[in-house]
Structure 1
Amino acid sequence: MAITHPQNMRPQMPAVARIAATSSPVLTTRVFPALAVVGATYAVISYVRSELGRETNTFDKMFDQQNTPEVMAARRKALEVEVNGDPRNNLLNILGWTK
């Protein structure tokens, strides 16, 4: 003999389980992990970009205070800028690309 429960006494599934049970397996196995990877990658890239920008601004302020005409003339002479070219314009100077 089976015992029947009234409608209001039936055990309810948690909301998260109901959503997971009704959603497509493609969404849970393909889309959500991809969105998580894209979101994490975007967050890391944004953080690194902001930190590089902050450091570049800090160094620019320091160098602006130190780069007097006398210092620049001594630098040009020591590095032979006229002969070898300015190393700040080198292809490998990644931090100077934005200028």
Structure 2
Amino acid sequence: MQPSTRMHIAARAPHPTASLAPRSGALATKGRVMLPTLAWLGAAWAVSFYVSRQLHGRSDSFDKIFAQQNTPEVEAARKRDLLVETYGDPRNSLLNILGWTK
């Protein structure tokens, strides 16, 4: 055999680790799509869980503080100053995030 023929035959032989390489297909494509999606969903859940816990903790501490100050005189002054009869109670507003769970 001539040297060029041997080189040509060696180039056609499969690489010894070719069977270990990931195969492209439906399973490999699903894995490439699912892993980042699951990571993103997990991170979003963790952030929302953390924010929710912080809001509930802050809401509970404010509730304790305000419960000590809720006297009939304070409530009457609040209703008068915030014009509750005219504009409605701001505690029931959609923007009152801390009051949503109550």
Q: Output the TM-score relative to the length of structure 2.
A: 0.66
Question: In the alignment, what sits opposite 2:101?
Answer: 98
Q: Is the 8 A contact 2:56 2:98 kept in 1?
A: no
Q: How far is 1:21 from its partner?
A: 4.7
Which of 47, 52, 60 does residue 55 from structure 2 map onto? Answer: 52
Verify: 1:78 aligned to 2:81, yes or no. yes
Higher relative contact order structure (alpha carbons within 8 Å, sequence separation ≥ 6)? 2
Q: How far is 1:48 from its partner?
A: 0.8
Unaligned residue ranges in structure 2 (runs of 5+): 1-19
Structure 1 residues 6-45: Cα deviation after superposition (integer angstroms, max 9, x where no partner): xxxxxxxxxxxx7x858x4224411211111111111111
Runs of 4 or more above 4 Å deviation? none
RMSD: 2.4
In 2: Cα distance, 1:91 partner to 1:29 partner? 40
Q: Output the TM-score relative to the length of structure 1.
A: 0.67
Which of 38, 62, 66 does residue 65 from structure 2 map onto? Answer: 62
Unaligned residue ranges in structure 1 (runs of 5+): 1-17
